[in-house]
Amino acid sequence: MEREVKHMVLAKFKEGVSKEEIEECIKQFANLVDLVPSMKAFKWAKELSIVNFHQGFTHVFEAIFESAEDVGDYLANQNHIDYGNFLMPRLDKFIIIDFEPTNVQP
């Protein structure tokens, strides 16, 4: 893949959201790769708490695209909208940030 534009979600799940529900959220997010043509890959992680500046965010989700336009197609895709309606009520807070990482060779 030439370019890698990341649509990253930092998420904190609400108290009371079960482990199974969180797993379902991850699974359905990953499934969007099959449902949204412009979405090329999906990665996720639990926060590791090595430092304590993570402000309560527990999970990181990365939807990966080849351009900002492709992120736009994803945002407008009904499968994404349906997924958002599933995920968002389960979140206590979130940040979404889009960026295209530049690799620096010092």
Under the rule (CB under 8 A), what is the footprint of a second copy?
5, 7-8, 10, 26-27, 30-31, 33-34, 41-51, 53-55, 57, 60, 62, 68, 71-72, 75, 94-106
Q: Based on CB atoms, which residue is closest to a second copy, 3 or 14?
A: 3
Kindly state the greatest CA–CA separation across the chain.
46
Q: Based on CB atoms, which residue is closest to a second copy, 14 or 72?
A: 72
E strand or H helix at 81: helix 78-87
Closest distance to a second copy from the beta carbon of 15 (Å): 20
CA–CA dist 98, 21 (Å, integer): 26
Closest distance to a second copy from the beta carbon of 69 (Å): 9
CA–CA dist 74, 96 (Å, integer): 14
CA–CA dist 53, 20 (Å, integer): 27
Q: Based on CB atoms, which residue is closest to a second copy, 14 or 99?
A: 99
